[in-house]
Structure 1
Amino acid sequence: MEHEQRSQARLSPSGDTQDIAAILAPRLAYFAGVARTEHVTRAAQEMQVPQSTLSRALVRLERDLGVDLFARHGRTVSLTPAGRTFLTSVERALAEVERAAEEVRADVDPASGKVAFGFLHTMGFETVPGLIRAFRVDHPRVRFSLVQNYGEAMIERLRAGELDLCLTSPVPDAPDLVARRLDEQRLRLVVPDDHRLASRRRVRLAEAAEEAFVTLEPGYGLRRITDDLCRQAGFRPRIAFEGEEAETLRGLVAAGLGVALLPPPAVPRPGVAELTVTAPRAAREIGVAWRAGIPDTPPVAAFKRFLLSRRGHLLPD
């Protein structure tokens, strides 16, 4: 009697929903099985549980809900109006649980599972499609959820568990992450094709100290690298425009609105000249990062091994 009062108290309108779910959840499948067969013995046989276990579970379920779900007729049972109402929601809930279970099992399947992979915008035109194409030679059915973003935003999503791996720059150094350097990408000083430096193949960055720069917004890894390289060259860049995407900056340069430090384009852009920077050494490291202490699913582990095997050969020549 005391136990019954405690159960009813937990299931009162003012009770905690999570407590209610914890009490009811193990019994819902039993309820649905008996409702389907309208026979306790037959349901117990189908579900391969002792009939006594099933009977006790139903009695406790009705007691905890405070309503009769079944009308008993000897060895058979039939749903009461309350039972029919409850069954509709129970079947929907069980179907959703089954769907969720199938989805997570599918995501970790070694052959056809899913990898949530983040990467920089500048990696999206050529590098990442090439990597995935090469990986799928041996793993043709692995699926990818792809996210393009700037470095800090990707690290946030990685920490939130929304990404399994991310390809980023600079390579992060944090205790909750594991990161491995994969490659290095040279940066170029991009100038309009009618610029005073356009006829040069090589240039010292200090020669652009008086120029207006177009750069990515603060928070982007390439922006931090640009500011640091200019500092090493002895000046602070005069920022004319800030953007969110490297090829947009290249377009601004072509329009004569400034110069920029950018990685090589996937496709040559008319209207600009791309100059090798001899001093300081202008390059950015590209690395892969993942959360420390989080076990990999088989498809994530396979793609991680693949990326690490490309160390030094990640980027197109």
Structure 2
Amino acid sequence: MTDEKLTAQLAPHLRLLAALRATGNVTRTAELLGIPQPTVSRRLAALSRALGAPLTVPAGRGVRLTRAAELLAEAAERALTAVDAGVRLAREEVEPGSGRVVLGFLHLLGRALVPELLRDYRAQVPDARFTLVQGSRQDMLDRLAAGELDLALLAPVPEEDERLGSVVLDEQPILLSVPAGHRLAGRSAVRVAELADEPFVLLEPGYGLRRITDDLCAAAGFAPTVAFEGQESDTVRGLVAAGLGVALLPLFEPGAPAGVAEVALTPPVTRTIGLAWRAGEPQPPAVRSFRDHVVTAYPRRINRRTK
């Protein structure tokens, strides 16, 4: 059988191969696809005959794919990703107002920015649907590159990555947060070098604020002494309030929380907040519409770079 004929025979069963690879079990594959188990078995037997080699071998109470079947299943998963994206584009081209946007964002931005943007957009497009994903900056960048996200709200904006298009929405001051009774609490400004002997409460590696802190400390000639690491800035502030260390964090609005004093850095330090997406790829109408709304409607944007 020629490659073309084998491809034509395999194409209708891409999901079967991908599902079998994921489950390792014929019965669960049948349940996942919503077809009878004998149908799955017959299709696998027909594909094995067409390939000229078995696709599965017994493995305990289930099966595992042969090396040849693994290669086909990997190709099937890649092809299905492209097909699913095409189906979504076509469906939302017909009904853009009810399309879905998968939006990633940092935990910190979920307090005010994300609800504000969604509220304003849903007022204009009431049937718009969103899937919201939170995580670290690096996690958002990885998911965006992998196609798991349509858009991501990040800080700082990844302007150095040519694979991404982005727009800067805001510039946010970074301040020193210390316990209210700390020796630096009453200062008008503090140099980062003065913090060399302080214990730090930090976000985990992969977060934008962690990178900013590490870079500022390195530029001042020291590595921060890590007292605690967390995944949310609110947790970091709580640990600072408890007297467990200092932290470099964005300005807390409307004012510093109880037990925390915010002190300006000198020279001043800021970070950008913005929206990013994969460059050079067609976007579903719903994604394009929300992106354009953010770019044009957000009042504090300071500069933009789109692709």
TM-score (norm 1): 0.65
Instruction: Give the one of 248, 258, 261 matched to 2:235.
Output: 248
SS in 2 for 1:137: helix
Return closer, same or farther for 1:215/1:310 CA change in 2, 3 Å cut-off. Answer: farther
Counterpart of 1:231 in structure 2: which amino acid? A
Residue 274 of structure 1 corresponds to which residue in structure 2? 262
Contact 1:192 1:198 in 2 (8 A): yes
Q: Give the whole-Å Cα distance in 1 for the aligned partners of 2:220 and 2:138.
A: 26
Contact 2:105 2:140 in 1 (8 A): yes
How far the C-alpha of 1:184 sits from its partner, in A, is: 0.9
Q: Map of 1:77-96 to 2, 5 A cutoff?
A: none
Counterpart of 1:164 in structure 2: which amino acid? D
Contact 1:214 1:239 in 2 (8 A): yes
Instruction: Give the one of 120, 123, 129 matched to 2:115.
Output: 129
Return closer, same or farther for 1:197/1:24 CA change in 2, 3 Å cut-off. Answer: closer
Counterpart of 2:127 in structure 1: which amino acid? R
Contact 1:168 1:286 in 2 (8 A): yes
How far the C-alpha of 1:170 sits from its partner, in A, is: 2.4
Structure 1 runs not aligned, ≥5 long? 1-5, 26-63, 66-99
Q: Give the whole-Å Cα distance in 2 for the aligned partners of 1:215 and 1:144.
A: 31
How far the C-alpha of 1:266 sits from its partner, in A, is: 4.9
Contact 1:165 1:289 in 2 (8 A): yes
Residue 168 of structure 2 corresponds to which residue in structure 1? 181
Segment of structure 1 superposing worse, 149-158 or 195-204: 195-204
How well do the aligned residues superpose, as a CA RMSD in angstroms?
3.1
Number of corresponding residues:
231
Contact 1:115 1:143 in 2 (8 A): yes
C-alpha deviations, 1:170-189, integer Å up to 9, x for none? 22222322122222111111
Residue 9 of structure 2 corresponds to which residue in structure 1? 20
Q: Map of 1:67-86 to 2, 5 A cutoff?
A: none
Residue 208 of structure 2 corresponds to which residue in structure 1? 221
SS in 2 for 1:197: coil
> Identity of aligned pairs, percent?
49
Q: Give the whole-Å Cα distance in 1 for the aligned partners of 2:13 and 2:236.
A: 58
Residue 138 of structure 2 corresponds to which residue in structure 1? 152
Residue 79 of structure 1 corresponds to which residue in structure 2? none
How far the C-alpha of 1:200 sits from its partner, in A, is: 2.8
Contact 1:158 1:291 in 2 (8 A): yes
Counterpart of 2:108 in structure 1: which amino acid? T
Counterpart of 2:134 in structure 1: which amino acid? Q
Contact 2:150 2:287 in 1 (8 A): yes
Contact 2:168 2:301 in 1 (8 A): no
C-alpha deviations, 1:163-206, integer Å up to 9, x for none? 11101122222232212222211111100011112223433333
Q: Give the whole-Å Cα distance in 2 for the aligned partners of 1:299 and 1:221.
A: 28
Instruction: Give the one of 194, 209, 213 matched to 2:196.
Output: 209
Counterpart of 2:128 in structure 1: which amino acid? V
Counterpart of 1:20 in structure 2: which amino acid? Q
Q: Give the whole-Å Cα distance in 2 for the aligned partners of 1:23 and 1:162.
A: 24
Q: Give the whole-Å Cα distance in 2 for the aligned partners of 1:19 and 1:135.
A: 44
Mapped pair 1:142 → 2:119: no
Instruction: Give the one of 119, 139, 154 matched to 1:168.
Output: 154
Return closer, same or farther for 1:112/1:280 CA change in 2, 3 Å cut-off. Answer: same
Contact 1:121 1:245 in 2 (8 A): yes
Counterpart of 2:242 in structure 1: which amino acid? A
Return closer, same or farther for 1:186/1:23 CA change in 2, 3 Å cut-off. Answer: closer
Return closer, same or farther for 1:123/1:24 CA change in 2, 3 Å cut-off. Answer: closer
Residue 294 of structure 1 corresponds to which residue in structure 2? 281
C-alpha deviations, 1:41-78, integer Å up to 9, x for none? xxxxxxxxxxxxxxxxxxxxxxx99xxxxxxxxxxxxx
Q: Give the whole-Å Cα distance in 1 for the aligned partners of 2:123 and 2:198.
A: 47
Structure 2 runs not aligned, ≥5 long? 15-45, 48-83, 303-307
Larger Rg: 1
